């Protein structure tokens, strides 16, 4: 059998690459997961020039979950691991260190979730920092978010320094104002946003944004902002689509991040989306949870989930890149969702029929 010189050169190159990969990574499994998750340019694909951005354009089907380019040029992985909900500390637990949160979060990082969404109000920034150390993934390969509550009488600077100390980090990739309800006037919103801009300009937060804001909360900020919010993290699922808010985001190049994307298959069952979720799960050979997450991603929305189940997290990372909903399927889910209204968070701030 004849072996060409080109074949020998190709084999040698592959061997060198594998050795290099092994040498420069924590382990082969984590390295390959990282490559699959964070890679944003595939030079051997017709999709090489494609990058999702804040325009809301749906990502193309790729063999990995892409990152989304924010309006300030930074990139955010489109699937993230949230430390709220099940990991949220309440009552007497607030002052106690929770090793399970550390273990679950480190497990998620090792499963390929390098976008980590935290907040001071979750009470577990210290655990998030410990999980980052335990997982051993280099800091520059992670995307870390935390949020401020805007406590009365406290500056953003004070809150931010405290968060960095608990996280054990020199900077975060994204810093958010967690909710707008503390402000008594548009002027207060504008003043706090100026403090956020100072944090960004210091380099200790690469990007800044908001969470749980409606158009009426965003408009005052946009009137005076030197650095507009790059993202708004909101509860988003078929039963809470927020009317024209997403169109407003697109007009102002504000990306959307969804928390609670699994609500229609968990908290809000039975509901008008049950049948279509079941139908599509069977069609694509995936779970209803996969369909729920894909529905958000296929709208160009950064999507957050959480679980202490390693198999489930690995399943999302493996299955979600393997299929893509058609535009009609995305619209069919949206239309089915409009037949029911369900809000899982901040229910005391809105009326029972308020769908904003």
Residues noted as catalytic:
122, 178
Of the chain, the end-to-end C-alpha distance in Å amounts to 70
The Cβ of residue 349 has, within 10 Å, a number of other Cβ atoms equal to 12
**What is the C-alpha to C-alpha distance for residues 171 and 201, in angstroms, rounded to an integer?**
12
Q: Which are the contacts of 74, defined by CB distance < 8 A and separation ≥ 6?
A: 173, 206, 207, 230
Phi (first) and psi of residue 231, to 5 degrees: -155, 150
**Locate tokens 């999302």: which residue?**
316
The Cβ of residue 141 has, within 10 Å, a number of other Cβ atoms equal to 14
Which DSSP state fits 57?
A: P
Q: Would you call the peptide bond into 281 cis, given omega within 30 degrees of 0 as the criterion?
A: no
**What is the C-alpha to C-alpha distance for residues 34 and 135, in angstroms, rounded to an integer?**
13
Token pair, residue 58, equals 């749906």
């Amino acid at each position: 059998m004849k072996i060409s010189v080109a074949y020998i050169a190709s084999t040698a190159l592959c061997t060198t690459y594998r050795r290099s990969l092994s040498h420069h990574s924590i382990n082969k499994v984590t390295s390959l997961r990282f490559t699959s998750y964070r890679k944003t340019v595939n030079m051997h694909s017709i999709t090489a020039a494609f990058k999702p951005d804040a325009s809301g354009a749906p990502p193309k089907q790729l063999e990995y979950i892409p990152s989304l380019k924010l309006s300030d040029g930074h990139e955010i992985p489109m699937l993230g691991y949230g430390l709220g909900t099940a990991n949220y500390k309440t009552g007497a637990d607030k002052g106690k260190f929770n090793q399970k949160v550390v273990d679950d979060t480190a497990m998620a990082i090792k499963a390929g979730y390098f976008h980590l969404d935290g907040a001071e109000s979750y009470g577990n920034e210290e655990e998030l920092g410990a999980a980052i150390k335990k997982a051993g993934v280099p800091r520059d390969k992670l995307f870390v978010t935390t949020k401020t509550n805007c406590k009365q009488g406290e500056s953003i600077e004070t809150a931010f320094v405290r968060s960095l100390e608990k996280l054990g980090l020199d900077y975060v990739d994204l810093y958010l104002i967690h909710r707008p309800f503390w402000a008594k006037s548009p002027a207060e919103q504008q003043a706090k946003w100026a403090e956020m801009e100072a944090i960004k300009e210091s380099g200790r937060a690469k990007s800044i944004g908001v969470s749980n804001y409606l158009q009426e909360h965003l408009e005052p900020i946009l009137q005076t902002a030197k650095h507009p919010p790059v993202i708004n993290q909101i509860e988003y699922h078929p039963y809470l689509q927020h009317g024209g808010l997403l169109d407003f985001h697109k007009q102002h190049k504000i990306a959307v991040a969804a928390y609670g994307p699994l609500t229609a298959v968990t908290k809000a069952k039975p509901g008008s989306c049950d049948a279509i979720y079941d139908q599509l799960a069977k069609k694509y050979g995936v779970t209803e949870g996969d369909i729920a997450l894909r529905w958000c991603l296929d709208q160009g929305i950064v999507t957050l989930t959480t679980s202490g189940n390693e198999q489930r997290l690995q399943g999302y990372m493996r299955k979600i890149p393997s299929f893509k909903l058609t535009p009609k399927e995305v619209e069919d889910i949206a239309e089915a969702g409009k037949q029911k209204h369900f809000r899982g968070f901040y229910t005391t701030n809105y009326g029972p029929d308020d769908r904003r």
